Amino acid sequence: MISYISSILSGASVALASIQEETDLLASEAAGILSNTGNTPFWPVWSDLWEMFIRMAISIITVGIIVHVFYYPKAKRRDYYFTFTIIGVSIFLLIYLLGGVKLKIGFALGLFAIFGIIKYRTEQVPIREMTYMFVIIAVASINGLATAISYFELICTNIIFIVALGVCENTRWMKHVPSKLVKYDNIKLIAHGMEDELKADLEKRLGLNIIRIEIGNVDFLKDSAIIKIYYEPIMDEFGTIDNINKPCKFK
């Protein structure tokens, strides 16, 4: 009887040991599967995800301040407002998510070269808008690519961009002088020594306080000349047509 009970107990112990071994094996396999799943690009790694959200928030806030506080109050261009905002988000995601390809500086400079030569076929992009576009691309690129620096350094870098734009856009430091191209018909006044009469005639016709006048192409056959005038701005705004510096084709 005792031998029978001991055989049963030994068999039960062997079964329990086998069950324990199988349990440990399944646990190790499950841990391996979870660890491999965490390394796949389809499994959320929360630390990296939070870092992307934080850097994206810094980039979007900076771009929002640049566009809404500095650019839009003077330009009043909703189309560029939309363009600058979307470009800022797109460039950040493109650079941050493709940062693993190890292209680093070459990749960033390639983007600068691509977007730096953008030419719209339907409308000439003024130099001010191109400058803001370059600044927004720079902000998004720095926030997406500079993953080796701390958040404090990143925020300070973004603040430097904001302060620089604030100083340059402040009319107390830098006064904007708009200009216009005028096709002028009274070519008698473009002669040397008639500057005061020419200025008075243009101010009377245009109703502007003219600062400086430049004489361009003169056509004696049609009694006309192309004149570029610089004048005091009527409002603290940047007109689109006033930013066109290339000579127009007058007929």
Number of neighbouring beta carbons within 10 Å of residue 95? 21
Task: Choose from 60-69, 103-112, 218-227 the range with maximum mean pLDDT.
Answer: 60-69
Instruction: Give the pLDDT band of residue 157 (cuts 50, 70, 90).
Output: very high
Q: Please state the rounded mean pLDDT for residues 46-75.
A: 86
The separation between the first and the last C-alpha atoms of the chain, rounded to the nearest angstrom, is: 123
> How far does CA 209 lie from the centroid of its chain?
36
User: Rounded CA gap, 154 and 167, in Å?
Assistant: 20
Query: Side chain identity at 149, as an amino acid letter?
Result: I
Q: Is the per-residue pLDDT at 234 higher than 80?
A: no
Angle between helices 151-169 and 127-145 (to 10 degrees): 170
Query: What mean pLDDT is reported for the chain?
Result: 75
pLDDT of amino acid 121: 47
pLDDT of amino acid 120: 47
Q: Please state the rounded mean pLDDT for residues 195-200.
A: 88
Task: Choose from 23-32, 40-49, 180-189 the range with maximum mean pLDDT.
Answer: 180-189
Q: Is the per-residue pLDDT at 245 higher than 70?
A: no
Q: Please state the rounded mean pLDDT for residues 107-112.
A: 59
% the chain with pLDDT above 90? 10
Which is more confidently placed, 213 or 118?
A: 213
Number of neighbouring beta carbons within 10 Å of residue 229? 21
Q: Is the per-residue pLDDT at 216 higher than 70?
A: yes
Phi, psi of 180 (to 5 degrees): -140, 150
pLDDT of amino acid 102: 52
Q: Please state the rounded mean pLDDT for residues 40-49.
A: 59
Which is more confidently placed, 184 or 8?
A: 184
Burial (CB count <10 Å: 0-12, 13-18, 19+), residue 239: middle
Strand 179-184 to strand 210-219: parallel, antiparallel, or no bridges (unpaired)?
unpaired
% the chain with pLDDT above 70? 61
Q: Is the per-residue pLDDT at 63 higher than 90?
A: yes
User: Rounded CA gap, 137 and 111, in Å?
Assistant: 9
Name which of 135, 143, 141 is nearest 51 in CA terms.
143
User: Rounded CA gap, 248 and 180, in Å?
Assistant: 11
pLDDT of amino acid 48: 72
